[in-house]
């Protein structure tokens, strides 16, 4: 389904799309008992933020963390050295849910908590400068994009009544799981769509249970002492919902989310129904707060306060993963449960509260969240598929979030499904089983936005294409291209664009073709009023 | 199980109770297909607040409302002329969930949103006077009572860690439904326990799905324009959760709750699993706000603004009931679904925003919410049980909230169950079927509290016992007894206590015996420091 021609795009108005009928090939003829699936997603979590070396090479950063369960998971299953995600949260999540590349869905940035608030530069909050002032200072204006996120297709009529726009209609992946008999559970962060739109509710996305999932992209607080943000002093739309029982209890958010997730498994397990548990942790997103169960370990190692807080949050996530693995084992489910462990984007390297030296937290990777350099998009990922994955194997093939759409459905034995949206993702089922010898995949990410009010050339208005070992970065504001060889230079420190013009031309053409095909959202030059050129039109 | 001797009570400390093994008799030998159950609960909703005359006699109040679906429901099933509930919300809900009379569970008032805040007089909020000032002015001090509400027994150990007290441990009724295979859905108001205790979460009470249920007893707002209270200006712990998709949509809370409830039915219906839907509306609790779909009808009738707002909220509930009935019909479920329609206490007659003349809103009944006079405790109730209830029949036998515990379990075919708490309720299954010819039941309510900061003799510190046509009211603050004949004097306007001392003595003894047996929470006289005497010790 690569390069499936799109039928229509949705930008600023309502559009209906004709259904795309999928036929997944390569399935076994006889359907086996449906496997359970646990999707364990970590937020803003860097590639080196654990004991696990995802490419098999140890880096110094690994020593800052204590993650025995992530190591256990990596040993149980396969891990990816080149699992890629969008530079920010929502596009990864919407690509998983729609099967569309973020360029194609035009959901290229994170969705605001409230409706009709593009998150560019000011993030929908009131900063010191208005968005207009910021855009004037950089000379770059945000593109049109689908800042209200996904709208589940079932709501087309209702949504029209609500005059919704700037959203991508889609048939959500989880709906197919539910329709195939899965008990579909959402616990934690959702962040597919803005409040006031149907996509804000996981129950409209195919989930039958929702705990805490809203339009918010972060938790107002991890602390039960602050009621997870539900106090008069702290409250805003990111206050975490559904956790009243833990208020004041001393239970850190990561732990509360885990307990709720395991609680919800009791019903499908006792009824012998297959389940899909989407355990989507708020951790390790900001605010960086101390998980007091683990903090002192890292202080004793000599890490600073911010580093120790962050590492304690990571260990909280690790403990959560261990609790899930233990639950599955205790209920004799390990042999029939697929577990996917992944992060939604790279670690945040632009926040003082994490301690250490900003912009180095993902070393050896360059930069972090928000950026199209490797620190922003290369993420930890491991998959355990009983009887299918070879324990401890490392897969070097590059994969993208949209690949999870067809992959999960194929894993669940769902062979035919109709979607209103085109599917850009490719199933990685054969990759996982070691049966794919000729995987070729252009990795494309496109961030036509300014992330924060202060412009940063290493983060804002970047596009990238990765083909084999080569990576092109298009710095849109400066209208220039950079070239890196990731195999030789994982830190993207040596720009080879001057010395290798043919490779630059090849990749610029490939990237430009794809951006044109998908009618990419492009930023505008304020002085000319024109969108910036494609990378092969410089 | 009437007068089941209690084994132990819980007041101010943790106690373990030995299990009570129940054997429900009168069940059919052969178990039929499990019926679905819809429990449709309305909040603060008066006995005459509809077109339906629950005792068969029309009163003028009925003409103020437009409730075709409540009429439809009453015609489908049986209705009760003497269904009783506690004067305030929580005790009714906890009695249904535990099977215990509120006197016995010592949950005699509503639970605060936050932990360890008795709601007496000040309601946990900061009024003009402190609680101490109020108690000093009346000379009456609140009793010890279980102001943290129910704690599901499974949490005994965890709760001990949290140092919880002032709660009643119980095995929740819904847990038995879930364990018997029911898909148990909670939508709307919960209000069984304070935040920071396990009982605050419906998921700990036996529900597998929870939408909007918290420790709050009211919605901060019914208006989507105010995000149901989730705005910086309005927010407090009663802001309604889980409804992000409706923010700003124009959908009134009652409608949103209904849509969510019907959405959750899709999974059990498509999987042919029996379901228990507890649709617990926030309406018609304060704040009294206009449901603009229906408001103008009542203005045109000449009702004032407050009356029209209230009637519009009632019609919103009626429309919700109709939507549920229609859903069941459309899915061919009507013939296998039991529907129970009920209110949790009498209509609020002490709030200016409802318009009309305060303290008359439940006419011909005296007073309203908070009071042990009929306006506070007699509630609308109708039950449709396909193949069992005779359409349109009126049942005059008196029933109490705790009766619903054994009733629902018997309806569901659950014959044996163990509870840590004694069950005071009696199954009304035979009553519903017209098979009970000799129903005798003392109705007991006891409100040893001051409801609001301003003392009102017709509401505060009252106890009552109803035996056949006779009703005794114990005005604890004034240490006096009143006697009414409800058959002759539904409005409780003629106190017969002076002319009928023998009847007074009989009922005072019966009430006193019960209060002693259940170790009732009694208020204290501040001047003497002693609890007020029992009604038969005056």
pLDDT recorded at residue B28: 40
| DSSP codes, B153-212 | GGGHHHHHHTT--S-EEE--HHHHHHHTT-EEEEEE---SB-TTSGGG-GGGTT-SEEES
Shortest CA gap A90–chain B (Å): 17
What is the pLDDT at residue A128?
A: 74
Which residues of A lie inside 8 Å of B (Cβ-Cβ)?
A: 114-115, 162, 178, 181, 183, 195-201, 203-204, 208-211, 214-215, 227, 230, 232, 235-237, 241-242, 244-249, 260, 263-264, 266-267, 271, 273
Which residues in B lie closer than 8 A to residue A208 (C-beta atoms)?
Answer: 209, 264, 266-267
Question: Which residues, at least 6 apart from B326, have a Cβ–Cβ distance to it below 8 Å?
Answer: none
- Which residues on A lie below 8 Å from B206 (Cβ)? none
DSSP classification of residue B421: S
Pairing mode, strands A150-152 and A168-170: parallel
Task: Supply the pLDDT for residue A127.
Answer: 65
Distance from CA of B94 to the nearest CA of A (A): 17
Q: For the CA atoms of chain A, what is the radius of gyration?
A: 22
Q: Stretch B87-111: mean pLDDT, rounded? A: 98
Indicate the pairing of strand B168-170 with strand B150-152.
parallel
Give the helix ranges, DSSP H, for B396-534. Answer: 404-411, 429-432, 501-517
pLDDT at B5: 34
Query: What's A68-110 look like in SS3?
Result: HHHHHHHHHCEEECCEECCCCHHHHHHHHHHCCCHHHHCCCCC
User: Which one-letter DSSP state was computed for residue B301?
Assistant: T
Contacts of A232 in chain B (CB under 8 A): 235-236
Does the beta-carbon distance from B209 to A208 stay under 8 Å?
Answer: yes
Closest-CA residue of chain A to B200: A245
- Nearest-angstrom CA–CA distance, A349 and A346: 9
pLDDT tens figures, A124-180: 445 678 889 899 999 999 999 999 999 998 776 555 545 678 999 999 999 999 999
pTM (predicted TM-score): 0.93
User: Residue B184: beta bridge partners?
Assistant: B276
Q: Which among A196, A214, A267 has CB closest to B248?
A: A196
Contacts of A235 in chain B (CB under 8 A): 232, 235
In tens, the pLDDT along A386-417 reads: 999 999 999 999 999 999 999 999 999 999 99
N-term to C-term CA, chain B: 30
Q: What was the pLDDT predicted at B32? A: 56
B203–A114 CB contact, under 8 Å: no
- Beginning with the edge strand found earlier in the chain, give each strand of the sheet holding A462-467 in spatial order: A443-447, A462-467, A470-475, A480-485
Q: Is the pLDDT of residue B126 over 80?
A: no
Judge whether residue A339 has pLDDT over 90.
Answer: yes
Q: Do B242 and A273 touch (CB under 8 A)?
A: no
Write down the pLDDT at residue A30.
Answer: 43
The average pLDDT across B424-429 equals 98
Sort out which chain B residues have CB atoms less than 8 A from A198's CB and list them.
Answer: 245
Chain A's closest residue to B232, CA to CA, is: A236
B252 contacts B173 by C-beta, under 8 angstroms: no
Interface touch B196/A271, C-beta < 8 Å = no
Confidence of residue B20 (pLDDT cuts 50, 70, 90): low
Residue A115 to residue B264, Cβ atoms within 8 A: no
Beta carbons of B245 and A196 less than 8 Å apart: yes
Cα gap B260→B137, rounded to integer Å = 46
Considering only CA atoms, give the Rg of chain B: 22
Digit-coded pLDDT (tens) for B360-384: 999 999 999 999 999 999 999 999 9
Cβ atoms within 10 A of the Cβ of B233, count?
A: 6
Q: Is the pLDDT of residue A14 over 50?
A: no
Of A178, A214, A230, the CB nearest to B237: A230
Q: Judge whether B16 lies within some domain.
A: no
Domains held by chain A: number: 1
Instruction: Report d(CA B251, CA A29) in Å as an integer.
Output: 48
Any domain includes A350: yes
Chain B residues inside the 8 Å CB shell of A162: 249
Count of A-B CB contacts under 8 Å: 98
Residue-number span of the structural domain to which A177 is assigned: 35-537
Q: Is A183 helix (H, G, I), strand (E, B) or coil?
A: strand
* Chain B residues within an 8 Å CB radius of A207: none
Query: Which positions ≥6 away from B300 have C-beta within 8 Å?
Result: none
Mean pLDDT along residues A103-108:
98
What are φ and ψ of residue A482, in 5° steps? Answer: -125, 150
Look at residue B408 and tell me whether its pLDDT is greater than 90. yes
Mean pLDDT across B199-228: 97
Bond prior to A287 in cis (omega within 30° of 0): yes
CA gap B414, B305 in Å, rounded: 48
Whether residue A12 is contained in a domain is answered as no
pLDDT at residue A106, as a whole number:
97
Q: Which two tokens stand for residue B519?
A: 């170790």
A242/B200 Cβ within 8 A:
no
List CB contacts (< 8 A) between B178 and chain A: 267
Q: Is the pLDDT of residue A264 over 70?
A: yes
Angle separating helix axes A253-270 and A305-330, nearest 10 degrees? 10
CA distance A243 to A187: 11
pLDDT of the residue at A225: 97
Residue A29: pLDDT above 60? Answer: no
Cα B199 to Cα B210: distance, rounded to the nearest angstrom = 13
Considering only CB atoms, which chain A residues are within 8 Å of B247?
114-115, 195-196, 200
- Taking the CA of residue A193 and the nearest CA in chain B, the distance in Å comes to 9
Q: What is the pLDDT of residue B153?
A: 79
Confirm if B309 and B355 have CB atoms less than 8 A apart: yes
CB atoms within 10 A of CB A13: 8
Asked whether residue A15 is assigned to any structural domain, the reply reads no
For chain B, give the percent of residues with pLDDT over 90: 87
Average pLDDT score, chain A: 92
* Confidence band, pLDDT 50/70/90 cuts, at residue B280: very high
With respect to residue A382, please indicate whether it lies within any of the assigned structural domains. yes
pLDDT at B286: 97
Residue B17 reports pLDDT greater than 80: no
Searching chain B, which residue's CA lies closest to the CA of residue A175? Answer: B267
Strands (E), A386-461: 394-395, 416-419, 443-447
Beta bridge partners of A193: A149
What is the distance between the alpha carbons of residues A254 and A380, in angstroms, rounded to a whole number?
A: 19
Question: Region B19-44: what's the mean pLDDT?
Answer: 70
pLDDT reading at A449 higher than 90 = yes
Q: Is residue B30 part of a domain?
A: no
CATH of the domain at B268: 3.40.720.10
Chain A neighbors of B114, CB-CB under 8 A:
247
Interface contact flag, A241 B237, Cβ < 8 Å: no
The answer to whether the peptide bond before residue B186 is cis (omega within 30 degrees of 0) is no
Distance from CA of A205 to the nearest CA of B (A): 12
Using 50, 70 and 90 to split pLDDT, how confident is the model at A27?
very low
Query: Across the interface, which of B200, B227, B244 has its CB nearest the CB of A245?
Result: B200
* A227 contacts on B by Cβ (under 8 Å): 195
CB contact under 8 A, B249 and A203: no
Query: What dihedral do alpha carbons B339, B342, B344, B350 form, nearest 10°?
Result: 150
Is B209's CB within 8 Å of A209's CB? yes
B245, B247, B256, best to mutate vs chain A, most A CBs in 10 Å = B245
Instruction: Find all residues with CB under 8 Å of A442, minimum gap 6, and list them.
Output: A465, A466, A467, A510, A514
Longest dimension (CA), chain B: 64
Chain B CA closest to residue A162: B249
In a domain, B58, yes or no: yes
Residues A233-255: pLDDT tens digits? Answer: 999 999 999 999 999 999 999 99
Q: Name the residue among B373, B375, B378, B379 with its Cα closest to residue B482.
A: B373
Best mutation target, A194, A233, A244, to test chain B (most B CBs within 10 A) = A244
Q: Do A178 and B267 make contact, defined as CB atoms within 8 angstroms?
A: yes
Residue B299 lies in a domain: yes
Tokens of B200: 């605050």
Q: Rounded mean pLDDT of B130-137?
A: 90
In B, minimum Cα distance to A248 occurs at: B196
- B239-272 pLDDT tens trace: 999 999 999 999 999 999 999 999 999 999 999 9
Continuous segment of H or E residues that includes residue B78: strand B78-80
Confidence band, pLDDT 50/70/90 cuts, at residue B162? low
Local structure of residue A476 (DSSP, 8 states): G
Q: Which residue of B has its CA nearest to A148?
A: B245
* Closest B-chain CA to A268: B208
Residue A444, SS3 per DSSP: strand
Q: Are A414 and A177 in contact (CB under 8 A)?
A: yes
Q: Going by C-beta distance under 8 Å and a sequence separation of 6 or more, which residues neighbour residue A214?
A: A113, A190, A195, A200, A237, A241, B244
Q: What is the pLDDT of residues B214-246, one digit of tens each?
A: 999 999 999 999 999 999 999 999 999 999 999
Q: Do A215 and B244 touch (CB under 8 A)?
A: yes
């Amino acid at each position: 389904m690569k390069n499936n021609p799109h039928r229509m795009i949705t930008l600023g108005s309502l559009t209906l799309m004709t259904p795309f009928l999928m036929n997944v090939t390569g399935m076994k003829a006889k359907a086996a008992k449906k496997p359970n699936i646990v999707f364990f997603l970590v937020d803003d979590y860097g590639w080196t933020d654990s004991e696990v070396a995802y490419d098999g090479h140890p880096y110094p950063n690994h020593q800052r963390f204590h993650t025995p369960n992530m190591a256990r998971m990596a040993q149980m299953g396969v891990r990816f050295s080149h699992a890629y995600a969008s530079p920010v949260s929502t596009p990864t999540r919407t690509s998983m849910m729609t099967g569309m590349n973020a360029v194609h869905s035009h959901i290229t940035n994170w969705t605001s908590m409230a409706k009709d608030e593009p998150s560019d530069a000011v993030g929908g909050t009131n900063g010191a400068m208005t968005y207009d002032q910021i855009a004037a200072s950089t000379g770059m204006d945000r593109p049109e994009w689908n800042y209200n996120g996904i709208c589940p297709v079932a709501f087309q009529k209702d949504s029209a009544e609500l005059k919704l726009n700037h959203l991508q209609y889609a048939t959500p992946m989880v709906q197919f799981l539910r329709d195939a008999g899965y008990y579909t559970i959402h616990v934690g962060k959702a962040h597919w769509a803005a409040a006031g739109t149907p996509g804000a509710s996981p129950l409209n996305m195919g989930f039958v249970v929702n705990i805490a999932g809203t339009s918010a992209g972060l938790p107002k607080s991890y602390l039960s002492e602050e009621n997870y943000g539900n106090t008069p002093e702290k409250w805003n739309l990111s206050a975490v919902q559904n956790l009243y029982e833990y208020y004041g209890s001393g239970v850190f958010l990561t732990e509360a989310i885990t307990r709720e997730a395991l609680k919800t498994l009791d019903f499908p397990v006792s009824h012998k129904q297959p389940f899909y548990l989407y355990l989507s942790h708020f951790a390790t997103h900001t605010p960086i707060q101390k998980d007091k169960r683990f903090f002192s370990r890292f202080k004793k190692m000599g890490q600073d306060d911010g580093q120790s807080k962050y590492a304690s949050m990571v260990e909280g996530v690790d403990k959560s993963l261990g609790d899930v693995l233990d639950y599955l084992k205790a209920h004799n489910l390990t042999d029939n449960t697929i577990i996917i462990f992944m992060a939604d984007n790279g670690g945040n390297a632009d926040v003082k509260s994490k301690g250490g030296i900003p912009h180095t937290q993902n070393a050896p990777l360059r930069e972090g969240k928000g950026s199209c350099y490797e620190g922003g998009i290369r993420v930890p990922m491991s998959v355990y598929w009983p009887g299918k994955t070879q324990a401890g194997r490392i897969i070097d093939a590059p994969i993208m979030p949209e690949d999870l759409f067809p992959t999960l459905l194929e894993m669940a034995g769902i062979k035919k499904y109709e979607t209103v949206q085109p599917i850009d993702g490719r199933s990685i089922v054969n990759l996982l089983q070691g049966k794919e010898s000729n995987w070729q995949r252009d990795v494309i990410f496109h961030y036509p936005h300014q992330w924060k009010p202060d412009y940063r050339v290493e983060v804002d208005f970047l596009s990238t294409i990765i083909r084999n070992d080569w990576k092109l970065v298009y710095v849109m504001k400066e209208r220039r291209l950079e070239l890196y060889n990731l195999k030789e230079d994982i830190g993207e420190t040596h720009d080879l664009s001057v010395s290798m013009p043919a490779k630059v031309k090849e990749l610029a053409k490939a990237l430009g073709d794809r951006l044109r095909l998908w009618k990419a959202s492009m930023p505008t030059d304020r002085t000319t009023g024109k969108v910036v050129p494609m990378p092969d039109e410089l």
